[in-house]
Chains A and B, each alone.
Chain A
Amino acid sequence: MSGAAPEGPVLSVDHLSVVSRDSKKKILNDISLDFPPRSLTAVVGPSGCGKTTFVRTLNRMTELTHSLRVSGAVRYLGQDIYQSNVNPVLVRRRIGMVFQRPTVFPMSVFENAAFGLRILHESDAEIDRAVTEALVRAGLWDEVKTDLNGSALALSGGQQQRLCIARALAVKPRVLLLDEPTSALDPAATQRIEQTMLRLKEDVVLVLVTHNVSQAARVSDRVAFLHSGRLVEVGSTADMLERPKDPLTEQFITGRFG
């Protein structure tokens, strides 16, 4: 959103590997992938293929678990986020994240959405404006506008998840990582979140982890298929789902494993 739209990819992953320090097992193996502007990339694959670990490397969330070693590069607008003089806090402000289950904090709806702005010490007027905008963009505004000071814990699971999206959007990130954001939600709530994603991809680069191929078909432009820590295939959603090149991909999307 802020600044001029970049020409090249917003985020590019270059020969990324992740090894578990404990078991010495390679969780991700030599992955290279670009995320261009105005795109929604679905990362799909069977359970345990490393897709969650993959998105977590994109904003250095892997660091919060001590036992992973990351090699290769992840470049945000050309800057390698794993370089030693990069501040991970700034990385996470530009590259937001939403998790499988809603992670609202025990505060009011408004304060939840304002969380990222408060820690940036924004002015009250700016926070008011940005929170409203974020709630509108997350598609939650109409449901909560009359009770912004009510506890966020009283919202339904789907509303809580959209509030989490609003919280991530409020700091105006350029990239939003969504780690199976609908896996804990019912079909109606899932549909609302999918509509939100379709609107958001106009100005935020979205990376969606999902185990659900039909969800990938509904919302994504591109699909990346991971299997046993390797990137098997990546391409436009239509190509991947209708004319997969790799037999593994075909088996996965036709539901033969996963």
Chain B
Amino acid sequence: MATSTPTGSVLPRDEVLFDRSLRTRWRLGFDRWIGWLLPLLFLVAIVPIVDLVYFVVRAAYPVLSWGNLTNTQPYANQNGNAVGLALIGTFDLMAIATAVAVLLGLFGGIATAEFLSERSAGWVRTSVNMLAGTPSVVVGYFGYFAFVLYFGWGLSLIAGALTLSFFMVPYIFRTVDLAYTSIPRPIREAALGSGARPYQYILKVGTPIAFPQVLTGVFLAMAIGLGETAPIVLTTLPSLLVPSSLNSGVTFLTYLIYDGFNHPSTGPGSNELAKAFEAAFLVMMIVIALNVVVRVFAARYKKRLEGLYQ
């Protein structure tokens, strides 16, 4: 039986490719709509973040200057718009917290991936996931009772940094664990089969392969740590001096945001809210910079490992 097609030709019925059934038309139409919808959803994701950055930059703009960023004078930091002290304080907190978290996360992750039995590894992973899910205020209180009161260190840089490291350990641990467990098993067996002891395998073969992922984890953990506020507010004392020892008080960027919104001074010429936005701007810029560094680095390193276990 012959049928005519929209192009005018006449073909046997089972050779015709055109289909006018409702089902097919609906399917093709849906395809077209999804094609429009997905970019729209992308906009839904991107618009808030762009708006947020714009909002923060606009609010911070009036007080944003090199002088304000580098000024560590007590008076300017207390009454003016200088954030030098908070910048240094954040750097100090992050340096100590990162060092502690890298140590714990790296050793814990390698031990879990390489040495623990499947069962114990499962317990460790569950515990770490629970730590990652604990509300930050709760961890803050724990840090307060443990470091500030029990160890008697007082509200201090070290108490704040150690509490902060609790938030970074799970991220580093998980990436390290994943990085070492995802090394192809035959690579590991080849190293051990060549007579290497497990630590020799980890140092000489495992680490060069896992390194980019580990570094990514460290940078992302730093980005997480940078944003934490409550636990450090609970364990440190704001100070108008550059920290001189582990027991010093310390001012940090997220504290300025918290404080600026909580107690905006209303006096003439005061600009506390702008200062909060200045701090917010800095935190955002550092987080973005960390993410960019991670991406560039990971892409470059991935190229070097091309051809591994093909």
List residues of A whose CB falls within 8 A of some B CB: 59, 61, 64, 66, 89-90, 92-93, 96-97, 99-107, 115-116, 118-120, 151, 153-155, 157, 160, 164, 167-168, 171
Contacts and interface: CB of A to CB of B under 8 A. Distances in A.
B51 interface: no
Contact of B308 (A59, A104, A167, A171): A104
B119 to A, nearest CB: 10
Contacts of B205: 105-106, 115
Nearest to B209: A106
Given A104-B308, A119-B204, A61 B193 contact: yes
B307 interface: yes
Interface string B166-210: 000000000000000000101111111111110010001100110
B196 A115 contact: yes
A116 B195 contact: yes
Nearest to B185: A64
Contact of A61 (B189, B204, B310): B189
26 contacts: A61-B189, A61-B192, A64-B188, A64-B189, A64-B192, A89-B195, A97-B190, A97-B193, A101-B309, A101-B310, A103-B184, A103-B186, A103-B187, A105-B187, A105-B190, A106-B308, A115-B191, A115-B205, A119-B195, A119-B196, A151-B307, A153-B304, A153-B306, A167-B194, A168-B193, A171-B195
B15 interface: no
Instruction: Select the residue from B195, B200, B205 with max chain A CB neighbours within 10 A.
Output: B195
B19 interface: no
B212 to A, nearest CB: 11
Instruction: Select the residue from B191, B305, B309 with max chain A CB neighbours within 10 A.
Output: B309
B117 interface: yes
A164 B189 CA distance: 12
Interface string B1-13: 0000000000000
Contacts of A96: 193-194
Contacts of B118: 66
Contact of A106 (B117, B189, B304): B304
The 10 closest A-B pairs by CB, nearest first: A153-B307, A93-B195, A103-B190, A97-B193, A116-B194, A99-B186, A103-B186, A105-B205, A119-B200, A103-B187
A33 to B, nearest CB: 21
Given A107-B208, A153-B307, A164 B117 contact: no
